Amino acid sequence: MAEILAAATMLFLIMDPLGNLPIYMSVLKTIDPQRRRRVIIRELLFALVILMVFLHSGQLLLDFLKIEQETVSIAGGIILFIIAIRMVFPQPGGIMSLPAGEEPFIVPLAIPMIAGPSTMAALILLANQEPNKMTEWSIALFAAWLVSAVILSMSNTFHRLLGEKGLNAVERLMGMILIMIAIQMLLNGIGVYFQSQLHVSSILQ
């Protein structure tokens, strides 16, 4: 249960629904309010399907590409660190430039806002580290997605409660937590890499 909670928390922070609220509202602001919630639910379902497929095929992808666990850990840590830095120090226009005023279809609300490269990297890492716990990781992914879906479905309510300054503060806080997770992923990957190199050296000697 602790592993599921930890994985779900990490995935929730990576998905960053509170940070994505302003982007969702910007993309959907010209869409009829009655249609808006249906669009959000549709895009969230697309994201869930994509992430579930990616979680369960991640190990096969790693085997096909001959990628080691430490490589995924280091790459995932770098991606998370970049995203987290952009959350803590936001640039004008947000994390990425997005078209506004058009009804989205998969892009950009499903991909990359929820099913983004950082989330996919984290899922590959989980699947590669402990492939015998795919049920637990699936539950963690669904839990993180469900909380994110509830938050994004209530975008107007959260915007009224928190305001622009409140949303910015929450996004920066999540960014700080994500930076620590990213650094830990980097350290884990580097540690495993050096251990494997030392092991190979000792065998050769």
Q: What is the pLDDT of residues 38-89, one digit of tens each?
A: 889 999 999 999 999 989 987 787 778 887 777 877 887 887 788 778 778 8
**pLDDT score recorded for residue 96:** 45
d(CA 71, CA 62): 10
Q: What is the mean pLDDT of the chain?
A: 81
**pLDDT score recorded for residue 125:** 82
What predicted TM-score, i.e. pTM, was given to this entire model? 0.70
Which residues touch 146 (CB under 8 Å, ≥6 apart)? none
The 10 Å Cβ neighbour count of residue 43 is: 27
- DSSP of 35-101: HHHHHHHHHHHHHHHHHHHHHHHHHHHHHHHT--HHHHHHHHHHHHHHHHHHHHSPPTT-SS----S
Share of the chain above pLDDT 90, in %: 20
Partner residues linked to 107 by β-bridges? 105
The larger pLDDT score, comparing residue 145 to residue 28, is at 145
